[in-house]
């Protein structure tokens, strides 16, 4: 397991804060109120471990299949439905939504290989990720992949806790399946908009692993 580059700064600051708080606690609190000092240590250590865990990149054997659309994120499938596209496409698409909790791995990965034909950031609100309007009103970044004449849209959506979406892709870029495409800090949701003839392979409530789980075949 390694630590994602997006976490270097916040981990460094968190480690310094952990050290400062516990040094202060040891010299000024522990002798008079040892129980309070222990509580401070346990709470700050738990927070530090959580931050390290949040930016983890576990070792995985990633999926690489021509006909597969793989999960762009770890999380739980919360929606599988036919929707009218509201961006880039003008037709109906099958939408699969994956909710990412703060405990999930937060690296986002390319669901397919191909060319990036669209990449657009949108400012917006911070509704909870499962809110019906979060995909059109929240802060988000939309990317469209083109492969063998077929196109696939992926939307990174901020939630109530997620305050920063990172996306590394730009139009004209050629990408490989399951490689990194971005990162969402502190929990959110990723939507996949696929052609209507895509054969969905997951179910509502199923847990996915980014870069591994096959969401659909096309």
In 148-179 the beta strands, taken as DSSP E runs, fall at 150-158, 164-167, 174-175
Looking at the fold, whether 43 and 147 belong to one and the same domain comes out as no
Looking at the domain assignment, is residue 196 inside a domain? yes
Final residue of a structural domain among 11, 27, 57: 57
| Structural domain count, the chain | 2
Looking at the fold, whether 52 and 72 belong to one and the same domain comes out as no
Q: What is the CATH number of the domain that holds 197?
A: 2.70.70
pLDDT at 127: 61
Looking at the fold, whether 135 and 181 belong to one and the same domain comes out as yes
Looking at the fold, whether 51 and 75 belong to one and the same domain comes out as no
Alpha carbon 121 to chain centroid distance?
15
Looking at the fold, whether 53 and 72 belong to one and the same domain comes out as no
pLDDT at 108: 96
Looking at the fold, whether 93 and 165 belong to one and the same domain comes out as yes
With residue 37 as reference, give the H or E element that holds it.
helix 34-54
Looking at the fold, whether 30 and 103 belong to one and the same domain comes out as no
Distance (Å) of CA 91 to CA 60, 149, 196: 36, 16, 10
pLDDT at 2: 92
Looking at the fold, whether 143 and 95 belong to one and the same domain comes out as yes
pLDDT at 126: 58
Looking at the fold, whether 72 and 48 belong to one and the same domain comes out as no
Identify whether the C-beta of residue 177 lies closer than 8 Å to the C-beta of residue 72: no
**By residue range, what is the domain housing residue 132?**
68-217
Looking at the domain assignment, is residue 62 inside a domain? no
Looking at the domain assignment, is residue 200 inside a domain? yes
pTM over 0.85: yes
Looking at the fold, whether 150 and 212 belong to one and the same domain comes out as yes
Give the pLDDT means over successive 10-residue stretches in the chain (218 positions): 90 97 94 94 96 92 95 96 93 95 92 98 69 66 95 89 81 97 85 96 97 97
| 85 catalytically annotated | no
pLDDT at 135: 60
- Catalytic residue, from 37, 97, 134, 188: name it: 188
pLDDT at 188: 82
Looking at the domain assignment, is residue 39 inside a domain? yes
Looking at the fold, whether 17 and 120 belong to one and the same domain comes out as no
Count of C-beta atoms within a 10 Å radius of residue 133: 10
Looking at the domain assignment, is residue 124 inside a domain? yes
């Amino acid at each position: 397991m390694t630590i994602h580059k997006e976490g270097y700064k916040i981990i460094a600051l968190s480690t310094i804060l952990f050290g400062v708080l516990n040094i202060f606690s040891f010299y000024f609190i522990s002798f008079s109120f040892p129980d309070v000092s222990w509580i401070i240590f346990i709470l700050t250590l738990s927070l530090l471990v959580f931050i390290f865990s949040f930016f983890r990149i576990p070792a995985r054997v990633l999926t690489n299949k021509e006909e597969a659309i793989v999960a762009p994120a770890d999380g739980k499938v919360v929606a599988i439905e036919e929707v009218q596209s509201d961006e880039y496409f003008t037709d109906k698409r099958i939408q699969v939504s994956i909710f990412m909790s703060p405990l999930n791995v937060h690296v986002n990965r390319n669901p397919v290989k191909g060319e990036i034909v669209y990449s657009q950031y949108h400012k917006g609100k911070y509704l909870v990720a499962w809110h019906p309007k979060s995909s059109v009103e929240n802060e988000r970044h939309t990317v469209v992949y083109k492969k063998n004449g077929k196109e696939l849209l992926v939307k990174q959506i901020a939630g109530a806790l997620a305050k920063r979406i990172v996306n590394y892709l730009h139009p004209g870029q050629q990408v490989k399946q399951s490689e990194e495409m971005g990162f969402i800090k502190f929990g959110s949701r990723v939507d996949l908009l696929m052609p209507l003839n895509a054969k969905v392979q997951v179910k509502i409530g199923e847990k996915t692993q980014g870069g591994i789980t096959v969401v659909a075949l096309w």
